[in-house]
Amino acid sequence: DGGITQSPKYLFRKEGQNVTLSCEQNLNHDAMYWYRQDPGQGLRLIYYSQIVNDFQKGDIAEGYSVSREKKESFPLTVTSAQKNPTAFYLCASRDFGNQPQHFGDGTRLSIL
């Protein structure tokens, strides 16, 4: 089946620890995105990438890092510099042009 796969579904982070969230898509989409959603809030853009080996900061990039070594993969690392990481993290991808974004089923990150 074509789609966007995020893993793990739930993740717990200890103080001072970096954690990496996985996002893989087999839709052959060019662009990929990471969003954060806090309870009762909208989606806020963390990072996005339009092509391999290139990515741009979104509105809340501090404390996060990404890589785009392959078209189908866009992992997000939540670093220890992110002091309030508890949130629902959503990965999305989009075909070229003005096509809509489609989302993976998300990763819930909490602090231990």
Partner 1 sequence: RKEVEQDPGPFNVPEGATVAFNCTYSNSASQSFFWYRQDCRKEPKLLMSVYSSGNEDGRFTAQLNRASQYISLLIRDSKLSDSATYLCAVNYGQAGTALIFGKGTTLSVSS
58 contacts partner 1 (rule: CB under 8 A): yes
The answer to whether residue 74 forms part of the interface with partner 1 (CB under 8 A) is: no
Name the nearest CA neighbour of 70 among 16, 18, 28.
28
Instruction: Quote the CA–CA distance of 103 and 94 in Å, as a whole number.
Output: 9
Please say which residue, 11 or 45, places its beta carbon nearer to partner 1: 45
Phi first, then psi: what are they for 83, rounded to 5°? -80, -15
DSSP letter at 70 equals B
Determine which residue in the list 1, 53, 83, 97 makes contact with partner 1, applying CB under 8 A. Answer: 97
Which member of 11, 43, 60, 61 binds partner 1 (CB under 8 A)?
43
34 binds partner 1 (CB under 8 A): no
What is the token pair recorded at 81? 């510099």
Q: Is residue 41 involved in binding partner 1 (CB under 8 A)?
A: yes
Judged by CB under 8 A, does residue 40 bind partner 1?
A: yes
Q: Does 45 bind partner 1 (CB under 8 A)?
A: yes
Tokens for 94, please give them.
Answer: 């989009």
Among 1, 84, 98, 112, binds partner 1 (CB under 8 A): 98
**What burial letters (b/e) apply to 29-45, b meaning 16+ CB within 10 Å?**
bbbbbbbbeeeeeebeb
Closer Cβ to partner 1, 4 or 78, answer by number: 4
